Structure 1
Amino acid sequence: MNCTNILLITKKEVKESFQNRWFIIFTVAFSILAFMLSYVGTRNLGYSEISGFGRTTASLINLALMLIPLMGLLLGSITISAERERGTLHYLLSHPIGKKEVFAGKYLGLFFSLVFTITIGFALGGIAIFFKTGSSDIGKYILDLLITLILASSVLSIGILISVCTKKISKSIGIAIFVWFFLIILSDLGIIGSVILFNLGIEPTFYITLFNPTEVYKILSVLVLSTRFEILGPVGIYIFNTMGRYGSLVIL
């Protein structure tokens, strides 16, 4: 693969992302909500085990869990199908550039755009926390930022896969929204139903959970933020007892 071609496609995707009104809306919404959650979270800390950066990060996890998968899936789902529907994909491939280079460039461009959005949101939230409570637990905050970027990378990959398999933008968006709904809501219900119906043990339930990037994100976030793994239920206790804290982080 030619790195120059990949870089050109990457720049093109980043530029188009910043011209996309939905991307701008998502970025502004995520940044404002992250700042507001951080500001409100630093008030009336009470007697919680987690405080400062740690407690507010727990709030940001829920925000990121809802918005980042939706944003990544939607951006990824239209990147190929939109060009195919407009006819620009064939024009692009008529140049001395390979399909792998186009794919890699688009992925990197969209990922860097998501990195910008997530970093801005976490940065604004971090500033609000820092001036209210200081730098306590800032390491956990930064680590959760990195975990959120991994989540963005995972859902973006799924979104691009949807885009490759569809020809119409409307179909791509519809499938992306369904996948988001499945990952966030139906997946939990499906796991619970499977456990009850097939009488699954903890170990197979854990392996099923690994197929959902949002579930892995929640587990990793709890492993980073707290030592109370019972928050995750039997699966969380199984992970900790089997692999330990750091072993779980490495495996996941």
Structure 2
Amino acid sequence: MNAMSFDPNAQPEPTLMPRATDVRGASLGLSMRLELAESLRSRWFHFYSAVVIGLMLLLVTTGISESRVLGFTGLSRLLVTYIQIMMAVLPLFIVITTARSMVGDREAGNLEYMLAFPISLKVWFWGRFLARLALIVLPIAASLALAAGYGAVKGHAIPWTHIGLYSALLAALTTCFLGIGFLISSLARSTEVALGLSLLVWMVLVALLDLLLLSILIQGQFLPDFVIGIALANPLQSFRTASMILFDPQLILLGPSSYVILDHFGVNGYVIWATVYPTVLGVVMAGLGYLRFSRGDLV
């Protein structure tokens, strides 16, 4: 029997250690999968999907694409109506359900269990954010695909450019209010407070859409550019104006304020603004929520 030889100068064989980026990527994927699995089992996602897709089915079955209003007909008329309804439904639903999420987990004791997983708080927070963003955008994409399929069956011209831009605008609006919801959820200490803050934010943004803001500022004799700038800082107003400018490039429905918008932005510039600004605002709000959440009492 031969004895095994031992070389004292031999170097140990190198081992493959996972890189930090790989570990963070795996942890982020784990956090997203946990949030996706939890949300898919909850009632809010199924109710939300039924509302978003059901609205499109309702518009399709009522034959609204066959009517003509302000020159819009076919699939364009259907998309205009759907996008205006979504502007009222989507932000309210997002901010209420999201603002109560982490507060509800804290009150139920689930947050302490979730934070026991071997992942960092940052990865867990942003993984949850990205998972919810994907879950909210998915039914919207399905409804727009349903509209395109309906238009193809009916022989309507399909405005693919408008469908793509509407998808980007809805994703930007979703990111904005999702970030606001995460910020509220990190600030509130109970679900009642979170719900109250959510409704307050929603009512303020709706009230400042047009009439209230313009009447107050015009009576105060402010410059028109300043008044319109304040209005466009409202993500709801930015979304609403961008949805109008796609089918009304001259913004006739806005009256004299259209000259200020078109002179400063132009059609393409304003669509870019209405897409980028709410997205950046939502990410900043979520970042502030993470800072507050990481420095406060987690459980």
The TM-score, its normalising length taken from structure 2, stands at 0.76
Q: Map of 1:4-153 to 2, 5 A cutoff?
A: 4-39=26-61, 40-45=63-68, 48-153=70-175
Larger RCO: 1 or 2 (CA < 8 Å, sep 6+): 1
The letter for the 2-side match of 1:67 is V
**Aligned-pair Cα RMSD in Å:** 2.1
Distance change in 2, residues 1:83/1:116 (3 Å): same
The letter for the 2-side match of 1:45 is R
Separation in structure 2 between the aligned mates of residue 105 and residue 176 of structure 1, nearest angstrom: 22
Unaligned runs of 5+ in 2: 1-20, 275-299
Tell me by how many angstroms 1:205 deviates.
1.7
The letter for the 2-side match of 1:190 is L
Separation in structure 2 between the aligned mates of residue 187 and residue 247 of structure 1, nearest angstrom: 21
Tell me if the contact between 1:70 and 1:180 (Cα under 8 Å) persists in the aligned partners. Answer: yes
1:84-133 per-position Cα deviation (integer Å, ceiling 9, x unaligned) = 11222233334332221121011101101101121122222332333224
Tell me by how many angstroms 1:23 deviates.
2.4
Identity of aligned residues (%): 23
Separation in structure 2 between the aligned mates of residue 129 and residue 41 of structure 1, nearest angstrom: 12
Separation in structure 2 between the aligned mates of residue 137 and residue 175 of structure 1, nearest angstrom: 39
Separation in structure 1 between the aligned mates of residue 185 and residue 170 of structure 2, nearest angstrom: 22
Unaligned runs of 5+ in 1: none
1:179-221 per-position Cα deviation (integer Å, ceiling 9, x unaligned) = 2232234543431233233222221122212332111111111
2:202 alignment counterpart: 180
Tell me if the contact between 2:133 and 2:174 (Cα under 8 Å) persists in the aligned partners. Answer: yes
Separation in structure 2 between the aligned mates of residue 12 and residue 73 of structure 1, nearest angstrom: 21
Separation in structure 2 between the aligned mates of residue 160 and residue 26 of structure 1, nearest angstrom: 18
The letter for the 2-side match of 1:102 is W
Distance change in 2, residues 1:35/1:184 (3 Å): farther
Residue 214 of structure 1, aligned match among 227, 236, 244? 236
Secondary structure of residue in 2 paired with 1:45: coil
Separation in structure 2 between the aligned mates of residue 133 and residue 210 of structure 1, nearest angstrom: 37
1:194 alignment counterpart: 216
Distance change in 2, residues 1:189/1:12 (3 Å): farther
Tell me by how many angstroms 1:152 deviates.
0.8
Separation in structure 2 between the aligned mates of residue 234 and residue 99 of structure 1, nearest angstrom: 49
Tell me if the contact between 1:68 and 1:152 (Cα under 8 Å) persists in the aligned partners. Answer: yes
Separation in structure 1 between the aligned mates of residue 29 and residue 79 of structure 2, nearest angstrom: 34
Residue 262 of structure 2, aligned match among 237, 240, 248? 240
Secondary structure of residue in 1 paired with 2:86: helix
Distance change in 2, residues 1:37/1:174 (3 Å): same
Bigger mean CA deviation after superposition, 33-42 or 62-71: 33-42
The TM-score, its normalising length taken from structure 1, stands at 0.90
Separation in structure 1 between the aligned mates of residue 100 and residue 232 of structure 2, nearest angstrom: 26
1:249 alignment counterpart: 271
The count of aligned residue pairs is 251
Tell me if the contact between 1:81 and 1:164 (Cα under 8 Å) persists in the aligned partners. Answer: yes
Tell me if the contact between 1:31 and 1:117 (Cα under 8 Å) persists in the aligned partners. Answer: yes
Secondary structure of residue in 1 paired with 2:196: helix
Secondary structure of residue in 1 paired with 2:134: helix
Tell me if the contact between 1:50 and 1:226 (Cα under 8 Å) persists in the aligned partners. Answer: no
Tell me by how many angstroms 1:244 deviates.
1.6
